[in-house]
Copies of this chain bind each other. A is one copy, B any other.
């Protein structure tokens, strides 16, 4: 026998049960986006490499999956060129296309390409796989889905507010307790400004973020190592040790940042957003600095409270999404749901609604051709009533058919033999309790309709 086939490392097959769970996740997020007027788009898996290259840094260029030109991909190349060129350059010669690396660059490309058809603000969501030639490891894949939502073409902070409401609603529907963390790039810039250490902002946030793990002394030591003077470190203390309610934190920060116009603008923005989010579990966290090179205003991140796992959703405000494609001045704000991690969280919490992941509700056992004919009529009526039902296709041994029902976790089985046909009844068996009752088709439908 041939070797058992396999799939490329870092990729996955999704089984029926996994798909049912993933569809539940996707469908829940979709529905909430739709409630807020977001519309779906899709872009091709392949983009021109000229669209992708240079957008993710030097490392990103290497992680792009490149697609070999079809046909005579060496056309016109001399042997000399082939052997003397660097690997990366040769790759660009023989590959014009690459697989999508994220949904952001294709979205920017989409907005520029279709600018004349779009009405701004454009509220779009997109859920598609992306590919990265990363080293595969636990929880990191070479093919994975992203689920992004963005509003472009509006500076209004109401967009930030709505995105936080979307996040809140989605996780409420999942039954997952979360904390939304919010920060603002302008506050971080303000901190660097008042310290006179504009180039140290990354070191500062990285160090502050470790407070819980390594303690204040080590944080301060790390800041010194990063080149901050003792005066600067002293001045950072109220920020490192910032605590209390959001209002208390903002009050402290307004003091610290009183000389930074940018910093005060960041506080004002944060105050506005928080003031509209009564009842949403959201917390100002100055150590939040994700995507720092990218975000220009609000930054957010979502943590699950009851599962140890990294951030499960994140996003922020960015300026100039489309500048790289020659359409400057378009601001946007977006979030990305980490669907793979949400899948893990819901698994760990066993939080999938039974209905969402159940498939067939009723199996008709097949006792032979005459019985099957009877069942075919009954099953048509059952399906017309919206009940998901199967007739076992072969008159196999009872045991085999019951194993099938068990393997597919089908909760009810319908048995139709000689006596049932004579009485025009069906024996309905509850697979969980073992209970059996004799019913008409109408009664069967009624008892299985929620």
Interface residues in chain A, defined as those with a beta carbon under 8 Å from any beta carbon in chain B: 1-8, 11-16, 19-20, 23, 34-37, 39-48, 50-51, 62-63, 65-68, 70-74, 79, 82-83, 87, 90-91, 94-97, 99, 109-110, 112-114, 117, 119, 121, 123-124, 129, 131, 133, 142-143, 151, 154-156, 158-159, 161-162, 165, 276, 324-327, 359-360, 363, 366, 372-373, 376, 380, 383, 386-391, 393-394, 403-404, 407-408
Q: How far, in whole Å, are A82 and B87 apart by their CA atoms in the complex?
A: 13
Contacting residue for A47 out of B7, B44, B129, B363, CB 8 A: B7
| Docked-complex contact B326 and A388, CB < 8 angstroms | no
Q: How far, in whole Å, are A4 and B284 apart by their CA atoms in the complex?
A: 40
Q: Which residue of B lies closest to A386 (CB)?
A: B35
Contacting residue for A96 out of B1, B8, B12, B383, CB 8 A: B8
| Docked-complex contact B68 and A393, CB < 8 angstroms | no
Chain B proximity of A233: nearest CB distance (Å) = 40
Contacting residue for A119 out of B82, B87, B403, CB 8 A: B403
Chain B proximity of A87: nearest CB distance (Å) = 5
Q: Which residue of B lies closest to A143 (CB)?
A: B44
Contacting residue for A389 out of B20, B37, B113, B389, CB 8 A: B37
| Docked-complex contact B15 and A51, CB < 8 angstroms | no
| Docked-complex contact B44 and A12, CB < 8 angstroms | yes
| Docked-complex contact A67 and B70, CB < 8 angstroms | no
| Docked-complex contact A44 and B13, CB < 8 angstroms | yes
| Docked-complex contact B44 and A8, CB < 8 angstroms | yes
Give 8 A-B contacts (CB < 8 Å), ordered by A residue. Answer: A5-B113, A8-B46, A13-B42, A13-B44, A13-B110, A36-B389, A45-B131, A121-B394
Chain B proximity of A400: nearest CB distance (Å) = 10
Q: How far, in whole Å, are A11 and B72 apart by their CA atoms in the complex?
A: 21
Residues of B within 8 A of A20 (CB): 39-40
Q: Which residue of B lies closest to A78 (CB)?
A: B83
